Structure 1
Amino acid sequence: MSPVRGSFIVIILWPDARARRITADKQKGMPLDASLHSGDAFFKDLPPFTTPDGTFSAAAHRRAPDDWRLAVTDVRNSTDAISNGLYKTVNFVAASSIAALKNLCAPAQLPFLFGGDGAVVMIPPSHVENARVVLARLRGLIGREFSLDLRVGLLSVREIRRAGAEALVGRYEPSPGNAFGVFLGGGVELLEAAVKSGGENALHAAASIPDALDDRGDLDLSGLSCRWEELRSRRGSMMSIIAAGEIGVFAEVYADVVKIAAAMGNPRPVRDETLAIRWPPKGYILEARARRKGAPLALAAARVLAETLAAWFFISRNIPIGSFDPLAYRELLIRNTDFSFFDNRLCFVLDCPADSITLIRAELSRRAEAGEIRFGAHVSESALMTCLVTSAATGSHVHFVDGGDGGYTRAAEILKRG
């Protein structure tokens, strides 16, 4: 890991004009230039916000360093896979890129974002070459084990800026030490378009990762799991919403929609009453395929079943073991669920009664007719949760939520058509 320079050295090395620009940005409430940070500590040193509301302030974001890389992954033809009932697999594959890169770069903290059928991760300069290999290995693994085509791309922040976009990053930290990244500036959207372009975009070649880098070497996907049951709605239905527009309107849109959904109770999809665990978990075979490392699938499945049996026993009975407290784990799990926001797109899932769903659609439609936003929404009976657990005992874990039946992917399709 690259050493972090002390602030005294940074001040000496910076030109006065650059420092004056930073001061001016602060006075204007604009995002600060993250070149003040160095090495791997950029995201770790960002000031956190603990509620989704902080997401909507441009001043809460910082310019990423030029030498960090933005990685984007996307499951090709995810709509077809979801139509074939593979929505849980699609979610697992999307989260796997976060797990692989997070484990590679540990203990450095990374900004990452889950998108249902893909993910966004930012990589520090000290891990770039290894990250290219990891992404190539992951793409190969996903094709061999799950018969899905995972598109991957990696581009420097410097190249993103040369292409006319920006990479601003915020730190959403719902509990201490458990942080998600949120992104502004158009960089994510630019790279997504390049990755999906199939070579037609000029940035596609710069972002591409050769198949030859896949040497079928080991991948560290530890901590990645999907052991909880589907989150069944206790209020009516789960509603997956994607809204596209300008950042200035999102605070109102989000507040108004949540207020409607919360009129008759807590609308969060992850609550104590929606959490259920059983054994064997439905997703155990996904873990076995991802982690078998060339071993027979039956043996890998047996290992996962043994692990999940122990977890199910203690969690379902709320029995502490060592430093692990199941009740504390559940409480943090409820808090540490993702909130997706990047560039001009806001994504979230709510548990809503039927009346609230009608009112939410009306409110979103009103704003769409006024030209403030475009939106897509998908309603399902349940939501899915994929987990990334670094240490359950110390409370280091985050959880990715998507609506059932491919909620975000379905909502995105509606948004595109709208």
Structure 2
Amino acid sequence: MESTRFYSDLPTHVISVSQLLADDSCFAAVPRDWRVILTDVRKSTQALSDGKHQVVNLVATGSIIAALNVAHRHGITLPFFFGGDGATLLAPPSLAAAIEQALLVHRENTRANFDLYLRVGGLALAAIYDRGQQLNIAKVEVNRGLVIPVALGEGLQYVEKIIKREDYAPPMALQDTTLDLTGMECRWDRILPPESAQEVLCLLVIVNDPRSQSALLSKILAQIDSVYGPLAHRSPVSLPRLKLKATLGKINTEMRAKLGRFDFGYLLEHWLRTLIGGLYFRFNPEGAHYLKQIVQWSDTLMIDGRLNTIMSGTAAQRQTLVEFLGCLEDQGSIKYGIQVCTASVMSCYVRDRRDQHIHFVDGLGGGYTQAAIMLKAKLAR
């Protein structure tokens, strides 16, 4: 049976994510002939220490955009998961090879322009299932117009372990492969929390027993909703805090990530566009509508068998949540990592400012990566 439209044709659930996780009937097994494709910036912690957090985020965003543009040409929707310093995607067999080859070109551009090495690799679902792993997926609308994938099982983490091994041998890029990063933008200044007394929190949680994964993740999300409020309320992205940053350095980084080379015409054109963008957003009704959609369509929650989320709130709210997570950790149910940031950063995929854009959010200074360091230290004990 043709599986190309498996994800495109999945029903979209309009319930809370905690409710979704509590209902196994909402999920479907990913077809055996689909492929997991993963990218990861190697030594990202060192890159963050070197002040390259913007570049790391942009490279990770580019991984998703490269795949989505391949899928867009075929009218297919793909599930993807943004991780701050990398990304995970699921692709049907008809698109997987083209996506991986585009990502290998992205890897070479990243190395040539930023002196960063981007791991690229993949594994068929058949191989994952044959190793006893599971991967089930659902679609849920978390804000009006923003539909995200939710994955359960340990299949994606299994692939991640394989591709991050030192002995993993990635394929070589084809010479005639093209890379299309149309729509990639990185022009927003760091985004302060909505209120001056707030902070930005990046949180990663894994469940120790796969049999309890859905129930515990549902319980944790319900607690986050109780402490921080619903997803839209706790978002670190708010309309008053959005400010364009029209520096040549920022446009240059975007240009090199997108084109793989220097292009003076691109640099000048997009610098000027960013300079006048403030007027467009302030005085043009379409611009004002786009800003509101940015807030609605910011990707701040990811569940790929783990919980990854970024939110804004007070130190008191964080303490309440940490006490709750600490109890679950002491019981041996979960392990978690957190990172507190003073602001968030955002990179964007904009195909059409009216109705085709999504915005990837991370904590300033690599919040997700820093939270992962804490989590990995616990796992190593």
Residue in structure 1 matching 2:18, options 29, 53, 60: 53
Query: C-alpha deviations, 1:135-172, integer Å up to 9, x for none?
Result: 21111111111111100112211121122212222223
CA RMSD of aligned residues (A): 2.2
Whole-Å Cα distance in 2 between the matches of residues 52 and 276 of structure 1? 30
- The corresponding residue for 2:150 is 182
Q: 1:367 to 1:139 in 2, by over 3 A?
A: same
Contact 1:292 1:300 in 2 (8 A): no
187, 193, 203: which one aligns with 1:241: 203
Provide the rounded CA distance (Å) in 2 between the counterparts of 1:312 and 1:93. 26
- The counterpart of 2:367, out of the listed 382, 407, 414, is 407
Deviations 1:215-266 (A, max 9, x none): 2753110111122221102232101111111221112212213322349x93
Work out whether residues 257 and 363 of structure 1, in 8 Å CA contact, stay in contact via their aligned partners in 2: no
Of residues 16, 40, 49, the one that matches 1:83 is: 49
For 1:372, the equivalent position in structure 2 comes to: 333
Report the Cα offset of residue 297 of structure 1: 4.2
Are 1:137 and 2:101 matched, yes or no? no
Match of 1:103 in 2: 69
| Alpha-carbon contact 1:291-1:300 (below 8 Å) kept | no
- 1:256/1:158 CA distance change after superposition, 3 Å: same
Mark the CA change 1:318 to 1:191 in structure 2 (over 3 Å): closer, same or farther.
farther
Note closer, same or farther for the CA distance 1:216–1:360 as it changes in structure 2 (3 Å cut).
farther
Within a 5 Å distance, the mapping from 1:141-156 to structure 2 comes to 141-156=109-124
Task: Determine if contact 1:281/1:308 at 8 Å carries over to the other structure.
Answer: no
Taking structure 2 as the reference length, the TM-score comes to 0.89
Q: Distance in 2 between matches of 1:342 and 1:99?
A: 18
Tell me how far apart the structure 2 counterparts of residues 297 and 216 of structure 1 sit (CA, whole Å).
21
The AA in structure 2 aligned to 1:288 is: M
Specify every segment of 5 or more residues in structure 2 that has no aligned partner in the other structure, as ranges.
Answer: 208-212
Equivalent residue number for residue 8 of structure 1: none
Q: CA deviation at 1:68?
A: 1.5
Q: How far off its partner does 1:46 sit?
A: 0.8
Mapped pair 1:258 → 2:225: yes
Q: Which has the higher contact order (CA 8 A, sep 6+)?
A: 2
The structure having more radius of gyration, on CA atoms, is 1
Q: 1:301/1:171 Cα in 2 relative to 1: closer, same or farther (>3 Å)?
A: same
Question: Per-residue CA shift, 1:188-240, capped at 9, x if unaligned?
Answer: 111101100122xxxx45xx322xx2527531101111222211022321011
Q: How far 1:113 moved relative to its partner? A: 0.9
Instruction: Tell me the distance in 2 between the aligned counterparts of 1:178 and 1:354.
Output: 28
Partners of 2:53 and 2:20 in 1: CA distance: 28
- Residue 286 in 1 paired to residue 253 in 2? yes
Q: What is the letter of the counterpart of residue 209 of structure 1?
A: P
Deviation of residue 403 (structure 1)? 1.3
Counterpart of 1:96, as a letter, is G
Give the conservation status (yes or no) of the 8 Å contact 2:337–2:375. Answer: yes
* TM-score under structure 1 length normalisation: 0.81
Structure 1's unaligned 5+ residue stretches are: 1-34
Aligned to 2:289: 328
Find the residue that maps to 1:266 and give its secondary structure.
Answer: helix
Q: 1:140 to 1:293 in 2, by over 3 A?
A: closer
Identity %: 28
Of 346, 349, 369 in structure 2, the residue corresponding to residue 388 of structure 1 is: 349
Contact 2:184/2:258 (CA < 8 Å) preserved in 1? no
Q: CA deviation digits over 1:71-115, x for unaligned, max 9?
A: 011111111111111111111111111000110121211111101
Q: CA–CA distance in 2 between the matches of 1:174 and 1:356?
A: 22
1:196 correspondence with 2:164? yes
Choose from 199, 202, 209 the match for 2:171: 209
Q: Given that residues 112 and 182 in structure 1 are in contact (C-alpha distance below 8 angstroms), is that contact kept between their aligned partners in structure 2?
A: no
Taking the aligned partners of 1:239 and 1:404, their CA distance within structure 2 comes to 10
Distance 2:267 2:338 in 1: 36
Within a 5 Å distance, the mapping from 1:23-62 to structure 2 comes to 38-50=2-14, 51-57=16-22, 58-62=24-28
The count of corresponding residues between Structure 1 and Structure 2 is: 365
Distance in 2, matches of 1:281 and 1:354, equals 36
Structure 2 equivalent of residue 63 of structure 1 = 29
Partner residue in 2 for 1:10: none
Q: Distance in 1 between matches of 2:205 and 2:274?
A: 37
Q: Secondary structure at the match of 1:333?
A: helix
Corresponding letter in the other structure for 1:104: V
State the alpha-carbon separation in 2 of the partners of residues 130 and 378 from structure 1.
36
